[in-house]
Structure 1
């Protein structure tokens, strides 16, 4: 019986703490001197994340499949007084990820912040998806997260210090039509982060924080003409997305939706499927489809 009372007490404390945080935001932590590895650093959110984290004093390890674009990011950081290293890596290939981790440990040092940002998307119907497209989506959007976490988590655990950050998506909370592989991969990211967070809590490793950001459409050019009826699913700017993402990271927030929609998952679980079908049909969140996809 005492265990039951303890559970209820912990739940009450959790609810009260959450309410207090809504009113008084926790102070931002310092990341000066941390080493942040950022995937997808050559463009879009990845480049902006690098710039923002570098301004806050983090040493940046920029990772991208596009060597030229990634080097541009590194040069931007250095020109602004930052410390940055660039590595060209195809995240679809496990052997390249393992080689990257070894080189970073030898040439830069321990990674204390892992920023899993890279992603690919093929907006098309499920029958048009090739096996290669599906494989690419999961290798970049999910499996690379697992492999990079496995490479760098051990050192974080030894020191009970670190931060793992992932860009997921609204599509990781509610599946999108014509984005079936992408939606499935982002659901997997949310599940990975939730499971890992609980695992670390069980191991009493409270010095390792996780942040999982689920934005709606972001105007990075990954998809063409994102839209929804009456703007009910807004198209976010990369700058807004990065500012809110870094703010969440600095405050050690876990699951963050952009724009805020903390009720979304609760609604999905409570309302009948027919109601969700009607809502999705009305909102009609969609992007232009492709005939042939390139990464």
Structure 2
């Protein structure tokens, strides 16, 4: 037992120290950053923030028109290289093909931000059309498999890189009317944690992992969703700008987890003891959720 408790106490005190003393930002100038679902919403904001810090930007999105518009805007406002590639991340062969283009035309990706996602919130699970359930799983989790397969081997060979999973609080808590979405986000978090463990066993400490779990953001995906309690509320577009700084700060400080807002940490602690009440408190009203039947950026 002592061989278990001693390391546990060391890690606990180390975590407490890191909480009080924030590590310095790492330099991302010249790093190649790939953001999926980058045409709009949170993906666009994260890309823009990293571009301000000198990173080369590679933008992926299934919406070619919106992607080109965003790329043009960022090229006009940022003094960095910006590349745009239309890509359906749910299709393995398309991910691999586009990844090879990026490697030839831009270089080796060193920061991968998996942000693209879809949601079907209009139905109960038994009512949801099979094709929408399948799409949710392919975009929200299977796409992570293919992007990691495409870019992680080069990171491993260089022992340098950063894997960023933009998940959701739905990967920590169940939500009413969003069974397939929550399943995909739980899977995304588990996948990211598993790969982080693999890298640690392989002694590839130069490759970092950051998992971000924001509450519902009032973009196209969750527009109009509200909760019954003030402890959590849908993140507005205005607040979104602040959230992107928190997310980029977590990446630059190489934090493993970031929950937004901070009240989610409290709910996570409470969940162990009062599961049903906590889950009910933060779950959105089903009638307010949209059904997104095309691929959307967050």
Q: TM-score, normalised by structure 2?
A: 0.91
1:121 aligns with 119
Q: Does structure 1 residue 257 correspond to structure 2 residue 259?
A: yes
Paired residues for 1:63-142 under 5 Å: 63-80=60-77, 81-123=79-121, 124-142=123-141
The question of whether the paired residues in 2 share the 8 Å contact of 1:217 and 1:233 is answered with no
Matched residues in 2 for 1:245 and 1:9: separation? Answer: 32
TM-score, normalised on structure 1?
0.92
Deviations 1:42-95 (A, max 9, x none): 000011111001111110110001111111221122112221100001122111
User: Does the 8 Å contact 1:30/1:250 carry over to 2?
Assistant: yes
Q: Distance in 2 between matches of 1:164 and 1:20?
A: 24
Q: Distance in 1 between matches of 2:107 and 2:75?
A: 18
Q: How far, CA to CA, are the matches of 1:168 and 1:282 in structure 2?
A: 20
Task: Please report how far the alpha carbon of residue 7 of structure 1 lies from its aligned counterpart in structure 2 after TM superposition.
Answer: 4.2
1:175 match = 174
SS in 1 for 2:265: coil
Deviation at 1:263, TM superposition (A): 4.4
CA contact (8 A) 2:74 2:82 kept: yes
1:20 aligns with 2:17: yes
Residue 59 of structure 1 is aligned with which of 52, 56, 60? 56
Distance of 1:294 and 1:78 partners within structure 2: 27
Residues 90-134 of structure 1, C-alpha deviation per residue, up to 9 Å, x if partnerless?
Answer: 122111111111111111110001010000001021122111101
Query: CA–CA distance in 1 between the matches of 2:244 and 2:55?
Result: 15
Q: Distance in 1 between matches of 2:142 and 2:245?
A: 26
- 1:7-47 Cα deviation digits (max 9, x unpaired): 43332221111111221211111111100010001000011
Gaps of 5+ in 1: none
Between the aligned partners of 1:142 and 1:292, the Cα distance in structure 2 is: 17
Aligned to 2:247: 245
Deviates more, 1:146-155 or 1:16-25: 16-25
Residue ranges of structure 2 left out of the alignment (5+ in a row): none
